[in-house]
Amino acid sequence: MKKQGIDARALKLDVVSEADRAATANAIGREFGRLDILVNNAAINLDQGASLETSTTPAKTLRDTFDANFFAVVELTQILLPLIRKSKAGRIVNVSSAQGSLSLLAPKGSPIYATKTFSYDASKSALNSFTLHLAHELQETPIKVNSIHPGWVRTDMGGPQAPLGLADGAKTSVRLATLPDDGPTGGYFHMGEALPW
């Protein structure tokens, strides 16, 4: 990346590790003194590939999924928020999923109606709630907080049959991470379109 003129640094961050979260905040604070953009893009789907019914989903599956997809994201955001408050235009992007939209999951005929994965879907709905609450708390600041659905992306989780490559999957995150001062906050978006909660 240095050959391309990009000064990139790598930090080890296992989002479910309290020690890693603290070390990340300390390293950013020490080196830069502020954080302009936080894209929360950590997620696991332990329902995937399993024939789990909602009524038989093990409690451990729910807890492990929520630990990675919700609690770790909330705790990382909380520990980094003092650094984001020092930015002139802080941006927080929570990478959710269309599966986190109760409005899209509920009606028969919806394109995702039949693809219910309880622990993953519930964790992303909780993440959307966090987005709404944090955006409300920060509405009088320059910080903007939004949720996004990246689309079905070819990753380890998305699988090789997914229609979007990594560059396309990142487009919505990049757009929301670089919003102008009059951009939205407390929204839920995919490729420039608002999604229903």
Q: Which amino acid is at 5?
A: G
113 is catalytic: no
Q: Which of 60, 120, 144, 171 is catalytic?
A: 120
SS3 59: helix
Nearest Cα to Cα of residue 117 among 31, 196, 48: 48
Tokens of 37: 């953009």
Helix (H) or strand (E) holding 121: helix 118-137
Nearest Cα to Cα of residue 71 among 152, 130, 138, 115: 130
Q: Which of 60, 86, 124, 171 is catalytic?
A: 124
124 is catalytic: yes
SS3 92: strand
Contact residues for 111 (Cβ-Cβ < 8 A; gap 6+): 104
| Residues with active-site annotation | 120, 124
